[in-house]
Amino acid sequence: MDWRNIILAMFMLLWSAAATLSLTWGSEIIWPDYVHVNYGFPLTWGVHTLNTIHGPVDIWKVNLSALFIDLVFWFAIMILVILVFVYLGEKTKAEEKR
Segment 74-84, tens digit of pLDDT: 999 999 999 99
State the pTM of this model: 0.81
Average pLDDT, integer, range 7-30: 95
Segment 24-61, tens digit of pLDDT: 999 999 998 999 999 999 999 999 999 999 999 999 99
Distance of alpha carbon 7 from its chain centroid, rounded?
Answer: 20
Find the radius of gyration of the CA atoms of the chain: 20
> pLDDT band at 98, cuts 50/70/90?
low
**pLDDT on residue 3:** 82
Could you tell me which residues come within 8 angstroms of residue 51 by beta carbon, excluding any fewer than 6 positions away? 34, 35, 57
